[in-house]
Amino acid sequence: MRRVGRQLVNIPSFIVRLESEKHIAFSLTSPLGGSPAVRVKRKNQKASGGGGDGEEEEEKELGHRNLSNMI
């Protein structure tokens, strides 16, 4: 889900004015928007010992890359 300012938008064809274009971002509750890992992912990390093997960093990089492409 994306947001424009504080308004949540789930329509891909949502039209945004040029002045509001800089306010487009992922929802604050989205894992791509900087939210903590979702429940199942946290559970799996805890079960595997919590050691990250670098996949999370790649996902975050991709999320930031997608966000910059979106804006």
How far apart (Å, rounded) are the C-alpha atoms in residues 3 and 21? 11
pLDDT at 69: 52
Residue that wins the pLDDT comparison between 70 and 42: 42
Residue type, 12: P
pLDDT at 56: 52
Query: Quick one: tokens of 19?
Result: 């002045």
pLDDT at 6: 78
7-60 pLDDT per residue, tens:
777 777 777 777 777 777 777 777 667 667 677 888 888 888 865 555 555 555
